[in-house]
Amino acid sequence: GAVVSQHPSRVICKSGTSVKIECRSLDFQATTMFWYRQFPKQSLMLMATSNEGSKATYEQGVEKDKFLINHASLTLSTLTVTSAHPEDSSFYICSARDRAGGYNEQFFGPGTRLTVL
Amino acid sequence: GESVGLHLPTLSVQEGDNSIINCAYSNSASDYFIWYKQESGKGPQFIIDIRSNMDKRQGQRVTVLLNKTVKHLSLQIAATQPGDSAVYFCAENIRGGSQGNLIFGKGTKLSVKP
């Protein structure tokens, strides 16, 4: 149980295009989903927190107009990188918190490798 | 700056030996801690967690120790295997923190020599 999937697993796009990444909780309902970015050999940096049916809360320094987050249902959140540039190339990871779950355990997706040419 | 950090960025051990990965945290309001394992190109995988009202918790081959006095957390892996090679992150949850966000440490790369 507690499986989180992401799609796509890797994407290569041209500079200036937009890319959408999906995060799904497969066997549980997630009231809260988190989006992280991870650069090579670095730790996970929280970008934003999304709650089902409400606007996402962005961390300081993360542009909400560039990284659009939609959490339309209890099992799906999407991150859209708009007008992507090479500096947006990174490993994007989502996590989900089980609505009925324990203390604050987050279940992570497998990540999406974004490369912007 | 980050409130969670690690003493050792890399750790190399012989197969069969025990591994100890350390983590220091600075926020005394943290009440929940998790260790994650991340293999190359994959998302973090939950290993073990501990609440602040405990000082030790054991799992299968892993033990987490929490010393609130010195704000120190450690992960002990018994009989380390090649499959344990990965980057290990500690993460903390600050009591009353915004929506239960986790703050991740920098990570320690564990390499297991056969």
Residue-wise pLDDT for A47-102, tens only, equals: 999 988 888 999 999 999 999 999 889 999 999 999 999 999 999 999 998 766 55
The residue written with tokens 């591994």 in the block is: B19
Residues 54-113 of chain B whose Cβ lies under 8 A from any Cβ of chain A: 89, 93, 98-107
Q: What is the pLDDT of residue B7?
A: 46
Cβ B89–A109 below 8 Å, yes or no? Answer: no
Name the residue of chain B whose CA is nearest to A43's CA: B106
How would residue B101 be classed by pLDDT, with cut points 50, 70 and 90? confident
B46-74 residues labelled b (16+ CB within 10 A) or e (exposed): ebbbbebeeeeeeeeebbbbbeeeebebb
Q: Does pLDDT of A1 surpass 90? A: no
Of the candidates A43, A57, A110, the beta carbon closest to that of B43 is on: A110
Of the candidates A45, A51, A105, the beta carbon closest to that of B49 is on: A105
> What six digits make up the tokens of A39?
């650069």
| Phi, psi for residue B70 in degrees, rounded to 5 | -110, 10
pLDDT one-digit tens code per residue, A5-34:
999 999 999 999 999 999 999 988 888 899
Report the C-alpha gap between B49 and A87 in whole angstroms: 34
Give the distance from residue B90's alpha carbon to the nearest chain A alpha carbon, in angstroms: 10
Q: What is the pLDDT of residue A41?
A: 85
Strands A112-116 and A10-13: parallel
> What six digits make up the tokens of A10?
């890797």
Q: Does pLDDT of B84 surpass 90? A: yes
pLDDT (mean) for A37-50: 91
Higher pLDDT, B8 or B43: B43
Q: What is the pLDDT of residue B93?
A: 86
Report the C-alpha gap between B105 and B92 in whole angstroms: 8
Among B49, B21, B46, which residue's Cα sits nearest to residue B34?
A: B49
Cα torsion A97, A61, A82, A36 to 10°: value is -30
Quick check: B48 contacting A, CB < 8 Å? Answer: no
* DSSP single-letter state for residue B98: G
| Phi, psi for residue A86 in degrees, rounded to 5 | -55, -35
**pLDDT mean across residues, chain B:** 88
pLDDT one-digit tens code per residue, B24-63:
987 888 888 999 999 999 999 999 999 999 999 999 999 9
Q: What is the pLDDT of residue B26?
A: 79
Q: What is the pLDDT of residue B2?
A: 39
Enumerate residues 6+ apart whose C-beta is below 8 A from B113.
B12, B13, B14, B15
Residues of A whose CB is below 8 A from B92: none
Name the residue of chain A whose CA is nearest to B49's CA: A105
Higher pLDDT, B9 or B20: B20
Residues of B whose CB is below 8 A from A107: 46
Q: Which runs of consecutive H residues, i.e. helices, occur in B19-91?
A: none
Query: What is the SS3 assignment for B83?
Result: helix
**Residue of B104, B108, B111 to mutate for A, most A C-beta atoms under 10 A:** B104
Enumerate residues 6+ apart whose C-beta is below 8 A from B15.
B80, B81, B82, B112, B113, B114
Q: Is the peptide bond before A8 cis (omega within 30 degrees of 0)?
A: yes
